[in-house]
Amino acid sequence: MDTIYLLIVLAPLFGAIAAGLFGQQLGRTGAHTATIAGVAVSFLLSLVVFWHHMIGGAEVYNETVYTWLVSDGIRFEVGFLVDNLTALMMLVVTFVSLMVHIYTIGYMREDPGYQRFFALISLFTFSMLMLVMANNFMQLFFGWEAVGLVSYLLIGFWFKRPTAIHANLKAFIVNRVGDFAFVLGIAAIVFYTGSLDYATVFGQAEGMSQATIRVLPGTEWSLLTVACILLFIGAMAKSAQVPLHVWLPDSMEGPTPISALIHAATMVTAGIFMVARMSPLYEFSVTALSFVLIIGAITAFFMGLVGLVQNDIKRVVAYSTLSQLGYMTVALGASAYAAGIFHLMTHAFFKALLFLAAGSVIMAMHHEQDIRRMGGLRKYMPITYATALIGSLALIGFPGLAGFFSKDGIIEAVSLSEIPGAGIAYVLILLGVFVTALYTFRMFFLVFHGEERFRHGAPGTNHDHGHDHEGHGHGLKGDPKESPWVVTVPLILLAIPSVLAGYFVGPLLFGDVFAGVIHVDETRDVLALLGEGYTGVMGFIAHGLVMPPFWLAMAGLATAWFIYMKRPDLADSARRRAPWAYNLLSRSYGFDQFNDVVFARGTQRLGQWLWRFGDTLVIDTAIVNGSARTVGWLSRQVRHVQTGYVYHYAFAMIIGLLVLIMAFAF
């Protein structure tokens, strides 16, 4: 198996190297063939590993591949930990990545950076695989930073657009804030355990929970709690949790395929995976779990509300990602790690499907992204319509589709949790179900149903999707057309698991798939408690039909249909009557303005003040120029002593000798 694990990681890397360094020689066909072949090999071998571990019950693989260095007894190694959690993540990452690679052939066919884009998305896949397969913190951090670096390059792929450059810098800087805390968390763990190896660290988790650290003078904090919160702050940036979420909506400046890859299978899921992997640590800190729970609930509900006022089709789906990541985070905080990972898996399929469907619409609309200038596309794009409907229903948790099982599992688990904050979290994620259905089907109805607004544009709208419109076909001359097969085939293949993946709810949530991999304190095992009433998939569906999440989702869907199809004047009326609410949501609660004023401009002003006071006044005036003037003054005074007369020097020597004699005598 050693060779298989190496090939899974290295195959996408080889494809990235081929397309990146030899793209001009290979040409477009050669570049996409090399990268797709590499990811396809990785996917097929991941299927083998998935079968070997999840079905065949193979033992956990935990081996060192390469020792980089040993410093003061701490080993820095490259190694693989392959268990059921890793096998599931590998399969999800490689499958979604493969679909995105194939889709990219159609979406980027006219882009001059074709080979570069394929090289970067293949490198993205390699980075994520290194992260999920790591058996130590050093390799985890390598993958953590690598996905951040590649996302920076991909978000700013169209580097001639100022908005793209602003977006990738924003993503990079916000993630550096989280990464600073992440490094401190790793340092705290290494300080106590003296090791970077997962197994060694997990074995000392109970001892760490008894140790304390002085964060502020006179206060002792649990070392493990501090380390877990610091690690989670890193996850807050990577998985876009409030308030470190601000980079994710702006990441839409990148091409649609990378939006799908970032939001579905790579970067944003890294934080969720990391916390689940660190469950042996988090289970010893209720404080850390409560912190995770509250942050996730706030993100799930309040970021969903922002999705209600977005008009860019990709931004609607982006805020949906923020909200769904909140649901996953809530599950982690409630010690329902398996439910969080289950939702990560199902979400990867239907969210990739929605992003790629949005890209298909954008292609048909000549790169128009304003949903107010669409409408009636159902009859022109039947495949995109059908797959987008499946993705939308899965997202809102329609019974029988993947999102229904994973989202309901989280909500039910949180309702049973006794961790501080669980009551508030339950209310927020329950309300979030209605909000999710409302913004999802607002987008769906405005894009695929109703009046065909794309020929003349919707009255009173403006193009606010963040780039120029030259050649974008606002006011289309002809009918939109369905996308080519390289676009529609990935949509169909992603629609299949968006329907069927939820039927693994039994083994993943209530079985022993993650036994020995994810550790949960028996007193907080809400999934075990929930599993006592599990009677099978059909019983789960029947139970869901009489529970509040289903009716809230249907209410949200019906509300979207009534407001945006039957009475669109109601939305305009609500906006006029409560402009403060609309402005609050359209500005995303002012997070960007706050960061701009306090951090961006604040640090700029601080730098200017330091330059004027520190550099100009202190360094230049006082130290540099001041010392020069002092030396000049002293030299002028000393110059008067040098008269050139011998008797002056003799007199000075006699005076000096007398001073020495007196000092010696007295």
Phi and psi at residue 618, to the nearest 5°: -80, -55
* 362 and 440 both lie in a single domain: yes
H helices of 239-285, in order, are 247-250, 256-264, 267-277, 279-282
Q: What is the mean pLDDT of residues 114-130?
A: 94
**Does residue 634 form part of some domain?**
yes
- The whole-number pLDDT of residue 406 equals 94
In a domain, 327, yes or no: no
Closest to 492 (Cα-Cα) out of 374, 574, 383, 568: 383
Mean confidence (pLDDT) of the chain: 89
Q: According to the model, what pLDDT value does residue 651 have?
A: 80
**Is 15 domain-assigned?**
no
Mean pLDDT value of segment 229-251: 92
Residue 552 lies in a domain: yes
* Same structural domain, 397 and 511: yes
Residue 395 token pair? 């997202």
Rg of the Cα atoms in the chain: 30
pLDDT of residue 476: 59
Domain C-terminal end among 544, 574, 604: 574
Question: Which range of residues forms the domain containing residue 636?
Answer: 593-665
pLDDT band at 625 (very low <50, low <70, confident <90, very high): confident
- Mean of pLDDT values over 459-477: 44
**70 in a structural domain:** no
The whole-number pLDDT of residue 608 equals 75
| 369 and 445 in a common domain | yes
| pLDDT tens per residue, range 499-509 | 999 999 989 99
pLDDT at position 462, please? 43
Q: Minimum mean pLDDT among 284-288, 331-335, 384-388, 593-597: which range?
A: 593-597
pLDDT for 529 equals: 92
Q: Is-cis flag, bond preceding 162, omega within 30?
A: no
Q: Are residues 542 and 627 in the same domain?
A: no
Q: Could you tell me which residues come within 8 angstroms of residue 224 by beta carbon, excluding any fewer than 6 positions away? A: 205, 208, 209, 211, 281, 284, 285, 288
Q: Does residue 239 carry a pLDDT above 50?
A: yes
Q: Is the pLDDT of residue 241 over 80?
A: yes
pLDDT score at 456: 64
Whether residues 534 and 433 share a domain: the answer is yes
Give me the pLDDT at residue 614, please: 65
Q: 627 and 520, same structural domain?
A: no
Residues 537 and 635 in one domain: no
Q: Which of 458-472, 482-496, 509-523 has the lowest mean pLDDT?
A: 458-472
Cα torsion 34, 35, 39, 45 to 10°: value is: 20
Q: pLDDT exceeding 70 applies to what percent of the chain?
A: 95
Residue 303 resides in a domain: no
Give the pLDDT mean for 221-235.
94
Q: Answer yes or no: do 429 and 517 share one domain.
A: yes
pTM of the complete model = 0.88
Task: Give me the number of domains the chain comprises.
Answer: 2
- 453 and 364 Cβ atoms separated by less than 8 Å: no
pLDDT of amino acid 664: 83
The yes-or-no verdict on residue 466 having pLDDT over 90 is no
pLDDT tens sequence across 421-448: 999 999 999 999 999 999 999 999 999 9
Task: Identify the helix (H) or strand (E) that includes residue 221.
Answer: strand 221-222
Alpha-carbon distance of 558 to 437, in angstroms, equals: 9
Query: Does 267 score more than 90 pLDDT?
Result: no
Mean pLDDT of 9-37: 93
Residue 487 lies in a domain: yes
441 plus 487 within the same structural domain: yes
Cβ atoms 481, 97 nearer than 8 A: no
Residue 441 shares a structural domain with residue 522: yes
**Is residue 514 a part of any domain in this protein?**
yes
Cα angle 587, 247, 362; round to 5: 80
User: Is 153's pLDDT higher than 70?
Assistant: yes
The mean pLDDT of 3-12, rounded to a whole number, is: 94
| 387 and 534 together in one domain | yes
- Across the range 236-250, mean pLDDT stands at 90
Give the integer Cα–Cα distance in Å for 581 and 577: 9
Angle (deg, nearest 10), helices 267-277 and 137-155: 160
pLDDT over 60 at 460, yes or no? no
Q: Out of 448-452, 465-469, 632-636, which region has the weakest mean confidence (pLDDT)? A: 465-469
Q: What is the pLDDT of residue 464?
A: 41
Q: Where are the beta strands (DSSP E) in 46-112?
A: 61-71, 74-82
Query: What pLDDT is attached to residue 600?
Result: 63
In the chain, pLDDT over 90 holds for what percent of residues?
Answer: 61
The mean-pLDDT minimum among 94-98, 460-464, 662-666 falls in 460-464
pLDDT of amino acid 477: 61
Sequence-distant (6+) residues with CB within 8 A of 72 are none
Instruction: Read off the pLDDT band of 473 (50, 70, 90).
Output: very low
Could you read off the pLDDT of 343-373 as tens digits, one per residue? 999 999 999 999 999 999 999 998 889 999 9
Query: Does residue 658 sit in the same domain as residue 549?
Result: no
Give the residue-averaged pLDDT of 73-80. Answer: 91
pLDDT grade for 599, boundaries at 50, 70 and 90:
low
Per-residue model confidence as pLDDT tens digits over 526-579 = 999 999 888 889 999 999 999 999 999 999 999 999 999 988 888 888 888 888
